[in-house]
Amino acid sequence: MQNHEEINRLKNIVHDLLTEATKQGASAAEAGLNIDDGMSVSARLGTVETIEYHCSQGLGVTVYFGKRKGSASSTDLSPDSIRETVQAACTIARFASIDEYAGLPDAEELATEFPDLDIYHPWNIETTEAISQAIACEQAARSYHPDITNSEGATLNSHQGIRVLGNTLNFIHGYSSSRHSMSCSVLGQRGESMQRDYWYSVARDASQLDSPEAIGQKAAERTIKRLNGRQINTCQCPVLYSAEVASGLISAFIGAISGGNLYRKTSFLLDSLGQQIFPDFVNIHEQPLLKNALGSSVYDAEGVTTQTRHIVQQGVIQGYVLGSYSARKLGMRSTGNAGGVHNLTINPGVNDFSAMLKLLNTGLLVTELMGQGVNSVTGDYSRGAAGFWVENGIIQYPVEEITIAGNLKNMFKQIVAIGNDIDYRGNIRTGSILIEQMSIAGS
């Protein structure tokens, strides 16, 4: 149930702000206002460690004097502060250089229909119950195995908020949303080997979170499996990215076809529209209107209508990821992606995780990545990694202190299969991804 009364109050503030901007001489303006509140509780070694109550508000305004642009922000929503914030933005705009691509989105691209996406589920959990759940989560992890020797704790987060967006093209809209999560991280030791790992669950609706016990047990299980890891010899072999790290590959692809990198010519996928980048079984699409999903939104950060669309179809790039500014720089139209993609989904294959291991046969299963190691200009890829060595489709032993390397263009072409073990905990939804061959730097 949306908080209509509070949304209307905030919409009136945004309306007054836009009126003030026009009064101060701006030819166009846009404004965003956010308020949110929540609670975070963490427990460690069986006792509560922190309890935090979070409450914040902020507004940002961008004004245009023709093709000159200025922005300012404030956490004070009083009329005097709003007037001063607009004045600051206008002062900046008057002295800014002309940018012929600056301006509001095209009016006909703005959202006009606002279906309920079921993303607001406030959780009225008492602090004592939150503490109890965090302790239960950590206890499940600590009691999982004798080799679990220490804990970084378990944390429960619950947040809800309202966002209002408006501009001088008569667009103004607000909505409520919520996000809840629980996580646990523990340490294990066996002889000289020490490892840590974690697990978490996140959802719009708290009733959809995994149980505290399941989260704790999963964190402990992952930690125990990593003990007594080895380095492997430097080699070339197939690599299977588990679902929770496979999203990073898709994220690197999205970065390469995003407007900023394209118009700056800092992407290894320049002029790739219509080109086959992946094998023909790879299909990637955006689903912004999914009910109850973490990345759902009717419009982007500028108010432009989001689109359910294919970004990759049968391995071929069908569209870029653009906001209004980058679209103008490229002579194209906004794709409703100012602020990023919404529920990006790579179509799964028929194989579950066990079947993906059998397809891998002998090679490396990657479950953790470290470092940034992706060159967006060349596509060169090099990341620290940990995971497991697999032989004949069966996990043999944990692997640590290695580096995996390749070039993303080649890696995309060498995707062999995509699993149906989809990780739904983020904005990019993908199963595990098997790549035919990569370079492994080990001992």
70 lies in the same domain as 176: yes
End-to-end Cα distance, the chain: 57
Residue whose token pair is 């956010």: 34
242 lies in the same domain as 196: no
Residue that is last in its domain, among 226, 256, 283 = 226
Residue 243 maps to a domain: yes
Confidence at 386, pLDDT banded by 50, 70, 90: very high
Q: What total number of domains does the chain contain?
A: 2
- Domain of 374? 235-248+348-441
Burial bucket for residue 84 (CB in 10 Å: 0-12, 13-18, 19+): middle
Residue 29 maps to a domain: yes
136 lies in the same domain as 54: yes
Q: What is the pLDDT of residues 56-67, one digit of tens each?
A: 999 999 999 999
Query: Residue 233: pLDDT above 60?
Result: yes
Structure tokens at 173: 């809209």
189 lies in the same domain as 171: yes
3-state secondary structure of 134: helix
Residue 278 maps to a domain: no
What are the beta bridge partners of residue 384? 370, 403
User: Which residues are CB-contacts of 15 (< 8 A; sequence separation ≥ 6)?
Assistant: 166, 172
183 lies in the same domain as 243: no
Confidence at 1, pLDDT banded by 50, 70, 90: very low
Q: What is the pLDDT of residues 117-149, one digit of tens each?
A: 999 999 999 999 999 999 999 999 999 999 999
CATH number for 192: 3.30.2290.10
Strands 344-346, 428-429: pairing kind: parallel
pLDDT at 250: 97
Residue 137 maps to a domain: yes
Span 365-388, average pLDDT: 95
Span 327-333, average pLDDT: 97
Residue 51 maps to a domain: yes
Q: Rounded CA gap, 142 and 149, in Å?
A: 7
Nearest one of 24, 34, 32 to 93, comparing CA atoms:
24
Helices 212-226 and 127-142: crossing angle in degrees, nearest 10, is 30
What is the DSSP track for 213-262? HHHHHHHHHHHHHHTT-B---SEEEEEEE-HHHHHHHHHHHHHHTBHHHH
Span 190-210, average pLDDT: 97
3-state secondary structure of 108: helix
Residue 293 maps to a domain: no
Query: Residue 88: pLDDT above 60?
Result: yes
112 lies in the same domain as 186: yes
What is the DSSP track for 71-94? EEEES--SHHHHHHHHHHHHHHHH
Structure tokens at 1: 């149930």
Query: Residue 263: pLDDT above 80?
Result: yes
Cβ atoms of residues 268 and 256 within 8 Å? yes
127 lies in the same domain as 240: no
Is the pTM higher than 0.85? The answer reads yes
221 lies in the same domain as 240: no
361 lies in the same domain as 384: yes
Strand runs labelled E in 3-147? 28-44, 47-65, 68-74
125 lies in the same domain as 241: no
Residue that is last in its domain, among 192, 226, 260 = 226
Average confidence score pLDDT of the chain? 97
pLDDT at 385: 96
3-state secondary structure of 28: strand
Q: What is the pLDDT of residues 150-168, one digit of tens each?
A: 999 999 999 999 999 999 9
Strand runs labelled E in 319-379? 344-346, 363-370
Residue 313 maps to a domain: no
Q: Rounded CA gap, 369 and 57, in Å?
A: 35
CA angle (261 as vertex; 259, 264 as ends), nearest 5: 100
Residue 152 maps to a domain: yes
pLDDT at 421: 97
Query: Residue 2: pLDDT above 80?
Result: no
191 lies in the same domain as 239: no
Residue that is last in its domain, among 191, 226, 261 = 226
202 lies in the same domain as 240: no
Structure tokens at 267: 């992407």
Burial bucket for residue 144 (CB in 10 Å: 0-12, 13-18, 19+): buried
